[in-house]
Amino acid sequence: MAETPDSDALEQRVVAELRRVTFPGMTRDIVSFGFVQRIEVSGDGEALVRLRIPTHNPGAGDQIRDQIEKRLATIDGLGGHRVEIEVAAPRQAQQKAIAQDSDLLPGVRHVVAVASGKGGVGKSTVAANLAVRLGQLGHRTGLLDADIYGPSVPMMFGIDDKPRVEAGRLLPFERYGIRIMSLGFVLDVDTPVIWRGPMVMKALEQLMGDVRWGDLDYLIVDLPPGTGDAQLTLTQKVPMSGAVIVTTPQDVALIDARKGLAMFRKVNVPVLGIVENMSGFVCPHCGEETAVFKAGGGERTAEALGVEFLGKVPLDPAVMSGGDAGRPVVAEPEEQAASVHREVFAAIAEAVVQGTESRKKPSLRIL
């Protein structure tokens, strides 16, 4: 006869399974969120799990309960389980604490995230060129490279220096009429970032609150790919005017783009639209266009999900060479290779301006 696991061993298994239960629309688990208030396993092997979830989403409790029930059912030796969940609006003290974080960016009118569901779709290239194009159109613009695990903005703008500190705050660099800050400015280029969630969140708070951004019309935030701690921190800590989702036309990228879009909708951040990057290659010799990564996927996805399609960015060697040389393609002098991208990013920038200005002033979103 198999030996029945003791209560401590069963409790550890319960905790392990709860760490696999995520908040709806997020990749972060309910244990690290601090939602689990009590775990108790009785002598006869019955588990009690009690949670308190501060959220304005009335369906979150049922979705989490379903996940917990399925996870606990996989534990051998568990004699039964009871799941108690309290779903309540965040307490006034929590709201006050989060509201105070709106002072992180007091002079910024609109914070716009540029995100992607997966890496390798050119998200940072879109963010950099969008920021520069907004500046060219007369908007006071900043660019925050929040891609903690792979900051590429320093190379894309040709900045090798360390930022200066004045009165205890970092001074952003200025290039092509915009203000720029990145974790890559303060880390060694070959240093891998191996951080857990709390460290990621603290780093992002410092990149926002400890930088002298000044008065800006737009702060473009280049987020890491996916739907993790960085995205959650941004949506919780500052009022968001909207998000731009970047994808490429092929199916695998579009699947992940849908996940990113769903995540922003879960936390009530307006999705301003989808940008299709690497949409097609136009031969500079014959003028023939080749759909290297299929065609039209971004536009079809936008239509299916009910969001704006902001435009197609063509695949062009000028984009690659400009990024490696530290000069975004829209900052190049007037020439044929750059003019196409100037027009595309002008249209994207104007759509972002129209989308943010047509909405009411954003409020902080609380899970």
Asked whether residue 361 carries a pLDDT value surpassing 60, the answer given is no
Instruction: Assess whether pLDDT exceeds 50 at residue 291.
Output: yes
Look at residue 18 in the predicted model and tell me its pLDDT.
92
Compare 78 and 316 and report the one with higher pLDDT.
Answer: 78
* Mean pLDDT on 222-236: 74
Residue 76: predicted pLDDT: 87
pLDDT in tens, 239-271: 889 999 988 877 665 677 777 777 888 778 889
**Token pair for residue 297?**
């996927």
Average pLDDT in the 281-289 region?
68
pLDDT at 77: 85
Rounded to the nearest 10 degrees, what angle do helices 336-357 and 123-136 cross at?
80
- The full set of domain ranges for the chain reads 7-89, 104-357
Residue 227 pLDDT more than 80?
no
More confident residue, 291 or 130: 130
Q: What is the pLDDT of residue 97?
A: 37
Residue 337 pLDDT exceeds 60:
no
CATH class of 7-89: alpha beta
Tell me the mean pLDDT in the region 52-74: 85
CA distance 78 to 49: 13
* Mean pLDDT to the nearest integer, 13-41: 83
Judged against a pLDDT cut of 60, whether residue 367 lies above it is answered with: no
pLDDT band at 365 (very low <50, low <70, confident <90, very high): very low
Name the CATH superfamily for 104-357: P-loop containing nucleotide triphosphate hydrolases (3.40.50.300)
What percentage of the chain carries pLDDT values higher than 90? Answer: 20
pLDDT interval class at 69 (50, 70, 90)? very high
Greater confidence (292 vs 164) lies with 164
CB 48 within 8 A of CB 81: yes
Across 109-138, average pLDDT: 88
Q: What is the pLDDT of residues 35-49, one digit of tens each?
A: 888 888 887 888 899
Predicted local confidence at residue 56, as pLDDT:
65
The conformation of residue 105, written as its DSSP 8-state character, comes to S
Which range has the top average pLDDT, 27-31, 130-134, 230-234? 130-134
User: Across the chain, how many H-helices and E-strands are there?
Assistant: 12, 14
Residue range 332-356: mean pLDDT, rounded: 78
**According to the model, what pLDDT value does residue 162 have?**
86
Between 9 and 178, the more confident residue is 178
Evaluate the CA torsion angle 347, 353, 354, 356 in order and state its sign: positive
Give the integer Cα–Cα distance in Å for 4 and 254: 47
Q: Which residues contact 181 (CB under 8 A, 6 or more apart)?
A: 142, 143, 144, 145, 163, 170, 172, 173, 207, 211, 213
Q: What is the residue-averaged pLDDT of the chain?
A: 79
When pLDDT is averaged across residues 191-201 and rounded to a whole number, the result is 60
Residue 338 vs residue 40, higher pLDDT: 40
Asked whether residue 364 carries a pLDDT value surpassing 70, the answer given is no
Q: Which helix (H) or strand (E) is 277 found in, with range?
A: strand 271-282
pTM, entire model: 0.67
